[in-house]
Amino acid sequence: MIRFNCDYSEGAHERILKRLAETNLEQTPGYGEDHYCAEAAELIRKACGAPDAAVHFLVGGTQANLTVIAAALRPHQGAVGAQTAHIHCHETGSIEATGHKVLPLPSADGKINAAQVKELYESHIHDESFEHTVQPGMVYISHPTELGTIYTKQELKELHAVCRECGMYLFVDGARLAYALEAEGNDVELTDLAANCDVFYIGGTKVGALFGEAVVIMNNQLKKDFRYMIKQRGGMLAKGRLLGLQFAELFKDGLYREMGRHADRLAGEIRSACADRGYPLYVPNTTNQIFPVIPDAVLESWKDKYTYTYQCRVDSEHSAVCFCTSWATKPEDVKALADDIRNS
Protein backbone atom coordinates (compact mmCIF):
# COMPACT_ATOMS: atom_id res chain seq x y z
CA MET A 1 0.00 0.00 0.00
CA ILE A 2 1.33 3.42 -1.00
CA ARG A 3 0.09 6.16 1.30
CA PHE A 4 -0.87 9.58 -0.05
CA ASN A 5 -3.42 10.40 2.66
CA CYS A 6 -1.27 12.79 4.73
CA ASP A 7 2.19 14.31 5.19
CA TYR A 8 2.96 12.76 8.59
CA SER A 9 3.03 9.05 7.74
CA GLU A 10 6.81 8.83 8.06
CA GLY A 11 9.02 9.34 11.12
CA ALA A 12 11.68 12.04 10.89
CA HIS A 13 14.48 13.22 8.64
CA GLU A 14 17.66 11.20 9.07
CA ARG A 15 19.60 14.29 10.17
CA ILE A 16 17.23 14.75 13.10
CA LEU A 17 17.44 11.09 14.08
CA LYS A 18 21.23 11.27 13.92
CA ARG A 19 21.33 14.31 16.21
CA LEU A 20 18.88 12.74 18.65
CA ALA A 21 21.07 9.65 18.84
CA GLU A 22 24.30 11.66 19.20
CA THR A 23 22.91 13.73 22.08
CA ASN A 24 20.82 11.03 23.72
CA LEU A 25 22.80 10.77 26.96
CA GLU A 26 23.51 14.47 27.37
CA GLN A 27 22.07 16.00 30.52
CA THR A 28 20.24 19.29 29.99
CA PRO A 29 17.74 21.42 31.92
CA GLY A 30 14.10 20.54 31.32
CA TYR A 31 10.99 22.33 30.09
CA GLY A 32 12.60 24.10 27.13
CA GLU A 33 15.26 25.94 29.15
CA ASP A 34 18.16 24.13 27.50
CA HIS A 35 20.75 25.39 25.03
CA TYR A 36 19.22 23.49 22.10
CA CYS A 37 15.94 25.37 22.46
CA ALA A 38 17.86 28.63 22.80
CA GLU A 39 19.84 27.84 19.64
CA ALA A 40 16.71 26.92 17.67
CA ALA A 41 14.88 30.04 18.83
CA GLU A 42 17.76 32.23 17.70
CA LEU A 43 17.92 30.51 14.29
CA ILE A 44 14.20 31.10 13.84
CA ARG A 45 14.44 34.74 14.90
CA LYS A 46 17.23 35.22 12.38
CA ALA A 47 15.27 33.50 9.57
CA CYS A 48 12.26 35.69 10.35
CA GLY A 49 14.27 38.89 10.62
CA ALA A 50 12.66 39.34 14.02
CA PRO A 51 15.26 39.70 16.79
CA ASP A 52 12.60 40.55 19.39
CA ALA A 53 10.25 37.65 18.62
CA ALA A 54 9.37 35.27 21.45
CA VAL A 55 9.76 31.66 20.29
CA HIS A 56 8.18 28.72 22.11
CA PHE A 57 8.15 25.04 21.20
CA LEU A 58 5.04 22.87 21.49
CA VAL A 59 4.37 19.28 20.48
CA GLY A 60 1.50 19.48 17.98
CA GLY A 61 -0.68 21.76 15.92
CA THR A 62 -3.95 21.43 17.83
CA GLN A 63 -2.07 22.06 21.05
CA ALA A 64 -0.44 25.15 19.54
CA ASN A 65 -3.77 26.47 18.27
CA LEU A 66 -5.70 26.07 21.50
CA THR A 67 -2.82 27.42 23.61
CA VAL A 68 -2.36 30.55 21.50
CA ILE A 69 -6.08 31.25 21.24
CA ALA A 70 -6.74 30.66 24.94
CA ALA A 71 -3.82 32.93 25.83
CA ALA A 72 -4.87 35.74 23.50
CA LEU A 73 -8.62 36.01 23.99
CA ARG A 74 -10.74 37.26 26.85
CA PRO A 75 -13.64 35.05 27.99
CA HIS A 76 -16.27 36.84 25.86
CA GLN A 77 -14.24 36.71 22.63
CA GLY A 78 -14.07 34.29 19.73
CA ALA A 79 -11.78 33.43 16.82
CA VAL A 80 -12.79 34.20 13.24
CA GLY A 81 -11.81 31.69 10.56
CA ALA A 82 -12.86 30.09 7.29
CA GLN A 83 -15.61 27.50 7.49
CA THR A 84 -12.95 24.96 6.49
CA ALA A 85 -10.51 26.14 9.19
CA HIS A 86 -8.73 23.43 11.13
CA ILE A 87 -9.90 24.89 14.44
CA HIS A 88 -13.49 24.69 13.16
CA CYS A 89 -13.51 21.26 11.53
CA HIS A 90 -10.68 19.09 12.80
CA GLU A 91 -9.95 19.80 16.45
CA THR A 92 -12.88 18.13 18.25
CA GLY A 93 -14.14 21.43 19.60
CA SER A 94 -10.84 22.14 21.34
CA ILE A 95 -11.25 25.89 20.97
CA GLU A 96 -14.78 25.75 22.35
CA ALA A 97 -13.43 23.60 25.20
CA THR A 98 -11.17 26.52 26.18
CA GLY A 99 -14.28 28.70 26.44
CA HIS A 100 -14.00 30.44 23.06
CA LYS A 101 -16.31 30.19 20.08
CA VAL A 102 -15.08 29.77 16.50
CA LEU A 103 -16.80 32.28 14.21
CA PRO A 104 -16.77 30.73 10.70
CA LEU A 105 -16.85 32.70 7.46
CA PRO A 106 -17.87 31.21 4.08
CA SER A 107 -15.01 30.21 1.81
CA ALA A 108 -14.79 28.23 -1.42
CA ASP A 109 -11.00 27.92 -1.41
CA GLY A 110 -10.11 27.82 2.28
CA LYS A 111 -9.15 31.51 2.41
CA ILE A 112 -10.87 34.54 3.93
CA ASN A 113 -10.27 38.20 3.11
CA ALA A 114 -10.14 41.55 4.83
CA ALA A 115 -13.54 42.64 3.52
CA GLN A 116 -15.21 39.60 5.12
CA VAL A 117 -13.51 40.29 8.43
CA LYS A 118 -14.51 43.96 8.36
CA GLU A 119 -18.12 43.06 7.51
CA LEU A 120 -18.30 40.60 10.41
CA TYR A 121 -16.81 43.13 12.82
CA GLU A 122 -19.12 45.91 11.65
CA SER A 123 -22.13 43.62 11.92
CA HIS A 124 -21.19 42.88 15.50
CA ILE A 125 -20.51 46.39 16.76
CA HIS A 126 -23.58 47.89 15.05
CA ASP A 127 -25.93 45.29 16.48
CA GLU A 128 -27.87 47.00 19.25
CA SER A 129 -27.52 43.79 21.25
CA PHE A 130 -23.80 43.41 20.56
CA GLU A 131 -23.01 42.67 24.19
CA HIS A 132 -25.24 39.62 23.94
CA THR A 133 -23.11 37.99 21.24
CA VAL A 134 -19.53 36.75 21.03
CA GLN A 135 -17.06 39.53 20.25
CA PRO A 136 -14.60 38.74 17.44
CA GLY A 137 -11.18 39.02 19.05
CA MET A 138 -8.86 37.21 16.66
CA VAL A 139 -8.62 36.20 13.02
CA TYR A 140 -7.20 32.73 12.41
CA ILE A 141 -5.85 31.69 8.99
CA SER A 142 -3.72 28.80 7.75
CA HIS A 143 -0.87 29.18 5.28
CA PRO A 144 -1.30 26.99 3.34
CA THR A 145 -4.98 26.45 4.00
CA GLU A 146 -6.72 23.13 4.55
CA LEU A 147 -7.39 23.14 0.80
CA GLY A 148 -3.75 23.74 -0.09
CA THR A 149 -4.22 27.34 -1.21
CA ILE A 150 -1.86 30.13 -0.19
CA TYR A 151 -2.24 33.77 0.73
CA THR A 152 -0.45 36.51 -1.16
CA LYS A 153 1.62 39.11 0.64
CA GLN A 154 -0.99 41.73 -0.22
CA GLU A 155 -3.82 39.61 1.20
CA LEU A 156 -1.82 39.08 4.38
CA LYS A 157 -1.13 42.81 4.71
CA GLU A 158 -4.81 43.62 4.21
CA LEU A 159 -5.89 41.12 6.85
CA HIS A 160 -3.31 42.47 9.29
CA ALA A 161 -4.44 46.03 8.63
CA VAL A 162 -8.12 45.28 9.22
CA CYS A 163 -7.25 43.37 12.38
CA ARG A 164 -5.36 46.38 13.72
CA GLU A 165 -8.23 48.67 12.72
CA CYS A 166 -10.77 46.48 14.51
CA GLY A 167 -8.65 45.67 17.56
CA MET A 168 -8.19 41.98 16.75
CA TYR A 169 -5.14 39.73 16.65
CA LEU A 170 -4.05 37.95 13.47
CA PHE A 171 -2.89 34.37 14.05
CA VAL A 172 -1.35 32.30 11.22
CA ASP A 173 -1.33 28.50 11.49
CA GLY A 174 1.79 27.27 9.72
CA ALA A 175 1.45 23.53 10.25
CA ARG A 176 2.46 23.02 6.60
CA LEU A 177 4.39 26.25 6.25
CA ALA A 178 7.36 24.78 4.33
CA TYR A 179 5.00 23.67 1.58
CA ALA A 180 3.65 27.22 1.27
CA LEU A 181 7.09 28.83 1.30
CA GLU A 182 8.25 26.67 -1.61
CA ALA A 183 5.00 26.71 -3.60
CA GLU A 184 4.95 28.08 -7.12
CA GLY A 185 3.59 31.62 -7.04
CA ASN A 186 4.22 32.18 -3.34
CA ASP A 187 5.44 35.66 -2.44
CA VAL A 188 5.16 35.38 1.36
CA GLU A 189 8.46 34.82 3.14
CA LEU A 190 9.08 34.22 6.84
CA THR A 191 10.02 37.88 7.16
CA ASP A 192 6.61 38.85 5.72
CA LEU A 193 4.81 36.67 8.23
CA ALA A 194 6.76 38.21 11.08
CA ALA A 195 5.93 41.71 9.85
CA ASN A 196 2.25 41.11 9.14
CA CYS A 197 0.73 39.11 11.97
CA ASP A 198 0.67 39.03 15.76
CA VAL A 199 1.57 35.38 16.18
CA PHE A 200 2.25 32.43 13.90
CA TYR A 201 3.77 29.02 14.12
CA ILE A 202 6.20 27.00 12.06
CA GLY A 203 5.12 23.40 11.62
CA GLY A 204 7.59 20.58 12.20
CA THR A 205 5.33 17.55 12.64
CA LYS A 206 4.34 17.56 8.96
CA VAL A 207 7.74 18.70 7.73
CA GLY A 208 10.40 16.24 8.81
CA ALA A 209 10.31 16.42 12.60
CA LEU A 210 9.15 13.56 14.79
CA PHE A 211 6.85 16.12 16.38
CA GLY A 212 6.89 19.80 17.18
CA GLU A 213 5.64 23.27 16.29
CA ALA A 214 7.50 26.54 16.87
CA VAL A 215 5.21 29.37 18.01
CA VAL A 216 6.58 32.80 17.07
CA ILE A 217 5.01 35.70 18.98
CA MET A 218 5.45 39.17 17.54
CA ASN A 219 2.92 41.18 19.55
CA ASN A 220 4.32 42.21 22.92
CA GLN A 221 0.90 41.92 24.54
CA LEU A 222 0.87 38.19 23.80
CA LYS A 223 4.38 37.49 25.04
CA LYS A 224 3.67 38.03 28.73
CA ASP A 225 3.06 34.85 30.73
CA PHE A 226 2.80 32.64 27.64
CA ARG A 227 4.79 29.87 29.33
CA TYR A 228 2.16 29.77 32.07
CA MET A 229 -0.41 29.03 29.38
CA ILE A 230 1.77 26.35 27.79
CA LYS A 231 2.05 24.57 31.13
CA GLN A 232 -1.64 24.94 31.99
CA ARG A 233 -2.67 23.48 28.64
CA GLY A 234 -0.39 20.47 29.00
CA GLY A 235 2.13 21.60 26.41
CA MET A 236 5.30 22.07 28.44
CA LEU A 237 7.37 19.05 27.52
CA ALA A 238 9.67 17.96 30.34
CA LYS A 239 12.27 16.82 27.80
CA GLY A 240 11.89 20.06 25.91
CA ARG A 241 15.33 19.76 24.41
CA LEU A 242 13.88 17.16 22.02
CA LEU A 243 11.89 19.97 20.39
CA GLY A 244 14.70 22.49 20.32
CA LEU A 245 17.18 20.04 18.87
CA GLN A 246 14.81 19.17 16.01
CA PHE A 247 14.11 22.78 15.06
CA ALA A 248 17.78 23.67 15.32
CA GLU A 249 18.45 20.99 12.72
CA LEU A 250 15.52 22.01 10.52
CA PHE A 251 16.81 25.57 10.33
CA LYS A 252 20.38 24.72 9.38
CA ASP A 253 21.59 24.59 5.78
CA GLY A 254 18.12 25.26 4.33
CA LEU A 255 16.78 21.82 5.33
CA TYR A 256 13.27 23.05 6.15
CA ARG A 257 12.86 24.76 2.79
CA GLU A 258 14.45 21.83 0.96
CA MET A 259 11.85 19.41 2.32
CA GLY A 260 9.03 21.72 1.30
CA ARG A 261 10.47 21.99 -2.19
CA HIS A 262 10.68 18.19 -2.51
CA ALA A 263 7.03 17.64 -1.61
CA ASP A 264 5.75 20.46 -3.82
CA ARG A 265 7.73 19.22 -6.82
CA LEU A 266 6.32 15.72 -6.51
CA ALA A 267 2.81 17.07 -5.98
CA GLY A 268 3.25 18.96 -9.24
CA GLU A 269 3.90 15.67 -11.05
CA ILE A 270 0.61 14.24 -9.77
CA ARG A 271 -1.17 17.46 -10.74
CA SER A 272 0.28 17.22 -14.26
CA ALA A 273 -0.90 13.63 -14.60
CA CYS A 274 -4.42 14.68 -13.61
CA ALA A 275 -4.34 17.43 -16.22
CA ASP A 276 -3.11 15.00 -18.89
CA ARG A 277 -5.97 12.62 -18.08
CA GLY A 278 -8.54 15.41 -17.97
CA TYR A 279 -9.35 15.11 -14.28
CA PRO A 280 -10.33 18.59 -13.01
CA LEU A 281 -9.15 19.93 -9.67
CA TYR A 282 -11.77 20.55 -6.99
CA VAL A 283 -9.57 23.37 -5.68
CA PRO A 284 -6.53 24.44 -7.74
CA ASN A 285 -3.35 25.05 -5.74
CA THR A 286 0.43 24.69 -5.97
CA THR A 287 1.31 23.13 -2.60
CA ASN A 288 1.67 19.50 -1.52
CA GLN A 289 -2.05 18.63 -1.53
CA ILE A 290 -3.82 17.81 -4.80
CA PHE A 291 -7.62 17.66 -4.98
CA PRO A 292 -8.63 15.93 -8.23
CA VAL A 293 -12.16 14.91 -9.16
CA ILE A 294 -11.99 11.23 -10.17
CA PRO A 295 -14.58 8.65 -11.24
CA ASP A 296 -15.68 6.45 -8.35
CA ALA A 297 -14.98 3.34 -10.41
CA VAL A 298 -11.34 4.37 -10.79
CA LEU A 299 -11.01 5.08 -7.08
CA GLU A 300 -12.51 1.67 -6.33
CA SER A 301 -9.89 0.00 -8.51
CA TRP A 302 -7.12 1.69 -6.49
CA LYS A 303 -8.42 0.79 -3.04
CA ASP A 304 -5.79 -1.90 -2.43
CA LYS A 305 -2.90 0.10 -3.90
CA TYR A 306 -3.17 3.71 -2.67
CA THR A 307 -4.56 5.58 0.30
CA TYR A 308 -5.92 9.10 -0.05
CA THR A 309 -8.35 11.37 1.78
CA TYR A 310 -11.96 11.58 0.66
CA GLN A 311 -13.07 15.20 0.23
CA CYS A 312 -16.64 15.17 -1.04
CA ARG A 313 -19.03 13.72 -3.61
CA VAL A 314 -19.20 15.85 -6.75
CA ASP A 315 -21.95 13.94 -8.56
CA SER A 316 -23.38 10.43 -8.72
CA GLU A 317 -20.24 9.03 -10.36
CA HIS A 318 -17.37 11.29 -9.26
CA SER A 319 -15.70 12.23 -6.00
CA ALA A 320 -13.12 14.81 -5.01
CA VAL A 321 -10.20 13.31 -3.11
CA CYS A 322 -6.89 14.56 -1.77
CA PHE A 323 -3.50 13.11 -2.59
CA CYS A 324 -0.85 14.49 -0.26
CA THR A 325 2.92 14.35 -0.72
CA SER A 326 5.46 14.89 2.03
CA TRP A 327 9.11 15.65 2.72
CA ALA A 328 9.73 11.87 2.50
CA THR A 329 7.57 10.88 -0.47
CA LYS A 330 9.45 8.60 -2.86
CA PRO A 331 9.66 9.68 -6.52
CA GLU A 332 8.99 6.10 -7.64
CA ASP A 333 5.71 6.06 -5.69
CA VAL A 334 4.64 9.28 -7.36
CA LYS A 335 5.55 7.87 -10.77
CA ALA A 336 3.42 4.79 -10.08
CA LEU A 337 0.41 6.94 -9.16
CA ALA A 338 0.96 9.33 -12.08
CA ASP A 339 1.13 6.39 -14.51
CA ASP A 340 -2.06 4.90 -13.08
CA ILE A 341 -3.82 8.25 -13.37
CA ARG A 342 -2.82 8.64 -17.01
CA ASN A 343 -3.83 5.05 -17.79
CA SER A 344 -7.13 5.09 -15.91
Range of the domain at 315: 2-7+255-342
Helix (H) or strand (E) holding 188: none
Same domain, 34 and 143: yes
User: Whole-angstrom Cα distance, residue 235 to residue 241?
Assistant: 13
Q: How confident is the model at residue 127 (pLDDT cuts 50, 70, 90)?
A: very high
Average pLDDT score, the chain: 98
Burial of 343 (0-12, 13-18, 19+ CB in 10 A): exposed
Of the residues 209, 231, 250, which one is the last residue of a structural domain?
Answer: 250
Same domain, 28 and 99: yes
Instruction: Please give the average per-residue pLDDT across 235-252, as a whole number.
Output: 98
Same domain, 166 and 310: no
Same domain, 74 and 103: yes
User: Whole-angstrom Cα distance, residue 281 to residue 277?
Assistant: 12
Same domain, 262 and 244: no
CATH number at residue 261: 3.90.1150.10
Q: How confident is the model at residue 124 (pLDDT cuts 50, 70, 90)?
A: very high
Q: How many domains does the chain have?
A: 2
- The predicted model scores a pTM of 0.97
CATH number at residue 216: 3.40.640.10
User: Whole-angstrom Cα distance, residue 178 to residue 180?
Assistant: 5
CA dihedral 147, 154, 121, 95 (to 10 degrees): 40
Tell me the per-residue pLDDT of 20-62, one tens digit each, with 9 for 90 and over. 999 999 999 999 999 999 999 999 999 999 999 999 999 999 9
Task: Report the half-sphere exposure of 261 (CA within 13 A, side-chain side).
Answer: 5
Same domain, 244 and 260: no
Same domain, 142 and 242: yes
Report phi then psi at 243, rounded to 5: -75, -50
Same domain, 308 and 203: no
Same domain, 234 and 290: no
Q: How confident is the model at residue 311 (pLDDT cuts 50, 70, 90)?
A: very high
Tell me the per-residue pLDDT of 67-113, one tens digit each, with 9 for 90 and over. 999 999 999 999 999 999 999 999 999 999 999 999 999 999 999 99
Contacts 24+ apart (CB under 8 A), 154-161: 155/111, 155/113, 155/114, 156/188, 156/192, 156/193, 156/196, 156/197, 157/196, 158/113, 158/114, 159/112, 159/113, 159/114, 159/117, 159/196, 160/196, 160/197, 161/114
Indicate left, alpha or beta for 167 from its phi (over 0: left) and psi (-120 to 50: alpha).
left
- Pairing state of beta strands 135-142 and 306-307? unpaired
- Residue 59 has a pLDDT of 98
Same domain, 103 and 244: yes
Q: How confident is the model at residue 224 (pLDDT cuts 50, 70, 90)?
A: very high
Of the residues 223, 250, 277, which one is the last residue of a structural domain?
Answer: 250
